[in-house]
Amino acid sequence: MKAFRFLKDKWFYISLIIMVLVVIAVFEFTFTRLDKFTRHGKEFLVPDMVGMNYDDAEELYKDEFTFILLDSIYVKGFPEGAVYQQNPAPGAKVKNGRNIYIIRTSIAPEVVAMPNLRNLSLRQAMVSLNIAGLKVDKLEFVDYFARNAIVEQKIKDEVIEPREDVVKGSAITLVVGLGTGNKNTILPDLVGVSVTEVKNVINNASLNIGTEIFIDNDEVEHLYVSRMDPEFAPDAKVPLGSLVNVWYRSDSNFDFKWYNNEKLRRDSIVEAWRLKKYSADTIRYVIDSFDFILKNRSFSYDSLERIKDKEMVFRVKDTASVEINFDFSDFENNDYEIDTTYFYDE
C-alpha cells in the first residue's frame, strides 16, 4: 500500500533513531540536573532540640534549617524560652534549608514593685517611674487643690497600689491635680525633638501626646518632630492635659541640625538684646523675623533649595506703627527688613 511505502525508506528509520536518542538525552539531562538541584542523597538528620534554648538552637543550626516559631506557651517546670515541640521530629531525614516548626516555652516578663507616686509632683513621679522601669501612658487631670500633684496611679482603668507587682515596662496612667488657679500650661516647641524624647517633653509640660504621623519611613534614631498641632508660638498656652499632635520626618530629608542652630541663634540674639534693654517691639520684631524664616524654610539638603531659602526676607507689614530701634551695625543692611544671609552664614 502506498500509505506505508515510507516503511521501506531507510531515511525514515535513521530519523526515528535520531529522535529516540534526542528524547533519551533530554530525559537524562533533565533528571541529572533535577537530582543536583534537589541535592538528592544529601540529607540531614534533624537533631533533638527539645529543651534547648530557642535562640541558641537557631544560631547553632541556622545554616542547615530555616526556623519558624509557631507559638510560645507556658509550661510549668520547663525552662523559659526553650524548645518545647519541633516538627519534623528528631531523627527525621530532611534536605538542607528545610523549615523546622517550633513551639517554645514563654519567657516570663520581669516584674517590678509599683512605686508610691501619690502626692508627688508630676516631674518627680515621672522620674520615679523611669527608675522603676515603667513609663507614662497618659495624664488625667481632675479637680484637686495641688496643681500637678499625683492624685492616683492606674494601669488602664484599674488603680495600682504601691508595692504591687507590675510587669516592667508597663504604661501607667497618672491622675493629676488641676490646682485652684490658672489651668493653662505653656506649649513647648517640639520641632527638632527626637521621636524617643517627644512624649517625655510633652508629659513634662502637663500635656498628652495625640496623633503621631510618620511622614518618612526610617529607623527610629533618624526621626524627629517636623510639625506640631497646636503650632508653637512664644508664650502660647493651652489647657492642662491637652493633646498635642506631632509629625515626624527623617533627618536624611530635613536638616534638623541647622534648624536647631537657627533656633539657638534666635534665642541668643533675643537674650543679648534684652540685656541691652532694647524695646519690647524691637525684640518682638527679631523673634517674628526668625520665626517667619523657621516656618517657611524647607531646610532641605538640596543646594538649590538652600539658595531659595536664603533669599527669604521678612518685612515689617506696617513700619509706621512700629518704633524700631535697631543697632543696625549688627546686620548687613539698614532697612526695615532682615537679610536672611546674615542668619544663614555657614
Position with higher pLDDT, 43 vs 102: 102
- The amino acid occupying position 319 is T
Query: CA-to-CA distance for 67 and 163, rounded, in angstroms?
Result: 41
Spans of all domains in the chain:
2-37, 43-105, 109-181, 187-252, 256-343
Q: Is the peptide bond before 90 cis (omega within 30 degrees of 0)?
A: no
Torsion of CA 78, 82, 88, 93, to 10 degrees: -110
CA proximity to 185, closest of 120, 247, 141: 141
Torsion of CA 321, 325, 328, 331, to 10 degrees: -70
For the record, the C-alpha cell of 287 comes out as 523673634
68-102 pLDDT, tens digit per residue, is: 998 888 777 788 899 999 988 898 888 888 899 99
| Architecture of the domain whose range is 43-105 | 2-Layer Sandwich (3.30)
When mean pLDDT is compared over 94-103, 287-296, 306-315, the highest value belongs to 94-103
Decide if 294 contacts 263 (C-beta within 8 A).
yes
Task: Decide if domain 187-252 falls under CATH 3.30.10.20.
Answer: yes
131-169 pLDDT, tens digit per residue, is: 999 999 999 999 999 999 999 999 989 999 999 999 888
Q: DSSP characters for 164-228?
A: -EEETT-EEEEEEE--SS--EEEPP--TT-BTTTHHHHHHHTT-EEEEEEESS---GGGEEEEEE
- The secondary structure of residue 171, as a DSSP letter, is E
- Dihedral sign from CA coordinates of 332, 337, 341, 344: positive
Average pLDDT over residues 193-203: 96
CATH number of this structure's domain 109-181:
3.30.10.20
What is the pTM assigned to this prediction? 0.63
pLDDT recorded at residue 214: 94
pLDDT recorded at residue 317: 41
Average pLDDT over residues 273-298: 81
Between 97-106, 122-131, 236-245, 319-328, the lowest mean confidence (pLDDT) is in: 319-328
**pLDDT at residue 326 above 80?**
no
Query: CA-to-CA distance for 167 and 111, rounded, in angstroms?
Result: 4
Position with higher pLDDT, 15 vs 241: 241
